[in-house]
Amino acid sequence: MKKKGILVVSFGTSHLDTMEQTIERLEKSVEEAFPDRAVYRAFTSGIIIRKLKRTENLAVDTVREALDRMAKDGIEDVAVQPTHIINGIENERMMEVLMEKMGQFRRMQVGKPLLSSVDDYKKAIHAIMAETDLAEDEMLVFMGHGTEHHANSAYPTLEYTFHALGYSQVLVGTVESFPDLTNVRRKLEISGRKKVALMPFMLVAGDHAKHDMAGEEDSWKSELQEDGYEVRVIMKGLGEFEGIRKIFREHIEEAGE
C-alpha cells in the first residue's frame, strides 16, 4: 500500500463536462507524474459539493474530509496541491485546515497556486498563447474571477506581463473586482479593433464562463456585441492546457524540495 499521497484541492464545479476536461485531466496527469503516490481530490466550495451530491449523486470530499480519509488509509507523507489561480481567500481557508490537520501526518508539504512567481506568470502566458490562434485584427479578452482580497493585484499584473512578453492584443478583466468590463471596454475602444475573442482565465469553464462571459443576455459577450464588436467565445478552462497542468506538477515537485 502507498504511504505517500497527493491531495489535489480545487474550488470545484458542478458542470461535469468541464470537470472532466480540466480537474480530472489535471488529477490524471498528477497520477502519471507521481506513480509512487496515491492521488486524492477535495473541493473547497461547500455549495458545489452539496449540489453535486443532490443533482449527480456524486460525493466529493472537503479538504478536512479528504485529509481524514488519507490518514485512515495509512498515508504518512502528504503533498497538497491547490489548483487555485491566485493566493486568495480560498487558498487561505485551505491553509487553515491544513494547519489544523498537520499533526495527523509524518510530513506535509504544500504547493503554491498557479500564479505565485514571476516565472509562473510567464510560463502560464506562453502555455496559453502556444495553443491559442488569434486573427491579426482580433483582441483576446480574458475573464478572471476577481476577489476583494489583496491578491486580486494578480490580474492587472497578468495583463501587464502579457504586454511585456509581446502579446499586446490581450486584455484581462474580472467578474467581481478590478479591472472590470468597463475597463476592458475602454481599452478595446483605444485598440481600434472590432473583433474580440473571449476566454475564461479560470481553471474550469463553468458557471461564470457559460453565463457571465458567454451568455446570450447580460454577459460580456452580449454587451460587447451591443458595442458593435464581432465576438467569438473560446470555451476552454485553464486545466485544458498541458502547459498549465505542467506548472501545477512543477509546484508539487518544488514543495518537496
| 219-246 pLDDT, tens digit each | 999 999 999 999 999 999 999 999 999 9
Q: What would the pLDDT profile of 136-161 be if each residue is shown by its tens digit?
A: 999 999 999 999 999 999 999 999 99
Q: Look at residue 85 and tell me whether its pLDDT is greater than 70.
A: yes
pTM for the full predicted model: 0.96
| Axis crossing angle, helix 154-164 with helix 118-130, rounded to the nearest 10 | 60
Give percent of the chain with pLDDT exceeding 90.
98
Q: Is 251 a catalytic residue?
A: no
**For residue 169, pLDDT beyond 90:** yes
Where exactly are the structural domains of the chain? 4-115+240-255, 118-238
pLDDT at 112: 98
Question: What is the pLDDT, as a whole number, of residue 256?
Answer: 83
**221-249 b/e (C-beta count within 10 Å ≥ 16 → b):** bebbeeeebebebbbbbbbbbebbbebbb
| Nine cell digits for residue 69 | 480519509
87-119 pLDDT tens trace: 999 999 999 999 999 999 999 999 999 999 999
Which CATH fold would you assign to the domain 118-238?
Rossmann fold (3.40.50)
4-115+240-255 and 118-238 have identical folds: yes
Among residues 15, 145, 208, 251, the one annotated as catalytic is 145
Residue 199: all three cell numbers together: 476566454
Give the pLDDT of residue 2: 79
Taking a C-beta distance cutoff of 8 angstroms, is the pair 221, 227 a contact? no
**By three-state DSSP, how is residue 147 classified?**
coil
The CATH code that applies to domain 4-115+240-255 is 3.40.50.1400
Please classify residue 1 by burial: count the beta carbons closer than 10 Å to its beta carbon, then call 0-12 exposed, 13-18 middle and 19+ buried: exposed
